[in-house]
Amino acid sequence: MLEFAITAEGPEKSRCGKLQLTHATVSTPAFMPCASVAVVKACPPHLIAEQGIQVMICNAYHLWQRPGTAPIAAAGGLHRFMSWPGALMTDSGGFQAFSIAGNSGVSEDGFAFRSHLSGEMLHLSPEKSVELQNELGSDAATVLDECVAYPAEKEYVAEAIERTARWALRCKEAHSNPQQALLGIVQGGVYHDLRARSAAATADIGFEGYAIGGLSVGESKAEMLAALHAAVPELPAKAPRYMMGVGTPLDMVACVRRGADLFDCVLPTRNARHGSLMTWQGPLKITRREFSTDERAIDQNCTCPACTNYSRAYLHHLHRSGEAAAWQLLSLHNVRFYADFMAQLREAVARGRLEELEARLSAWTVRETDHENRQK
């Protein structure tokens, strides 16, 4: 089940909305932390919910491999299995399959590749991907698609979008969970005409929402935005649009300008594990020596567990000591920042102030570059 209502329209193609799914209603634009194996790394689901996150994304391939989708279904579905009160989306597993198999593992039937855990030969077809996601019981599933590596020859990308469209139709025909929405995926690399063709073909099949995949994989920001711009006009105006794998605040603002509603990325938690934090004063690297005696919070205006309870000096010590608590606390901080940022992004869209928010983010980048140069 999926219903999407546009609640405000801002500059260019930006908009705010309410995305109603079976388990929760999500305010958009929204960011989905990656809980690939039913958890955001180092952060239990209840702590993620406490940071203001409404929706997360899990991965069908990883959960198929461990613990298996059948035990999760027997436990009452993914929401009960991981005790998550919000909405959940699942990735089809196609990106992981392509990462392992490469072009040589792709055929009309799907992907043939070896499990990264057991070495067992696996076959992920469109029907199998949907079956796995039906068993998981997420609020929204995604079709199996072929994410072509960058750069790629236009001829091959054209073949891939046709195959992805055929797979999308098979996924729709195989989908059998009436409580679960199914999203089509647009591919096409950095080729504008192929992006438009893929979007039109996917829209013709008809889905409740649409994802734009195969971007943020090495192409320039200009190429990424141009590809999104080419796809959006071919998609239904009243359906949600999910920009896959895009996660920097500046990039999300730029994509929202061009009509994107949903985002996911490992960036905030991966960066946190390496000591890179986001604050409203700009990025902060907790590993720097200057923070070893700094008794201030990471961000005095943040109410995450790290900022509420601990100093920069203590967090610096935990990270330098390799303590697992540092992973959790720093990750929760970045997750809270992203939740607060998306709230400010929604307000900026509704009030027509995207340029102000974008200028603020751009100033962070300049300050961080200047600081890095002074450290060299």
pLDDT along the chain (376 residues), means of 10: 97 98 98 98 98 98 98 98 98 92 88 95 97 98 95 97 98 98 98 98 98 95 98 98 96 98 97 96 96 98 97 98 98 98 98 95 64 37
312 and 169 within one domain: no
320 and 202 within one domain: no
Residue 249, SS3 per DSSP: helix
* Active-site residue, 91 included: yes
Within a domain: 23? no
With beta carbons less than 8 A apart as the criterion, state whether 236 and 261 touch: no
Strand pairing category for 262-265 and 30-33: parallel
From the candidates 145, 251, 261, 264, give the one annotated as an active-site residue.
Answer: 264
234 and 306 within one domain: no
The pLDDT of residue 265: 96
> What is the largest distance, in Å, between two alpha-carbon atoms of the chain?
60
Domain span at residue 286?
272-375
The pLDDT of residue 283: 93
172 and 88 within one domain: yes
185 and 89 within one domain: yes
d(CA 24, CA 55): 8
Tokens 């959960």 found at: 63
Query: What's the predicted TM-score (pTM) here?
Result: 0.95
Given 265, 293, 322, which residue is the final one in a domain? 265
The pLDDT of residue 369: 41
The pLDDT of residue 370: 42
The pLDDT of residue 197: 98
Within a domain: 18? no
What burial letters (b/e) apply to 301-332, b meaning 16+ CB within 10 Å? ebebbbbeebbbebbbbbbeeeeeebbbbbbb
Within a domain: 244? yes
Number of folded domains that form the chain: 2
* Active-site residue, 264 included: yes
Within a domain: 222? yes
Q: Which residues make beta-bridge pairs with 28?
A: 17
With beta carbons less than 8 A apart as the criterion, state whether 91 and 40 touch: no
d(CA 161, CA 184): 12
Q: What is the CATH number of the domain that holds 161?
A: 3.20.20.105
The pLDDT of residue 189: 97
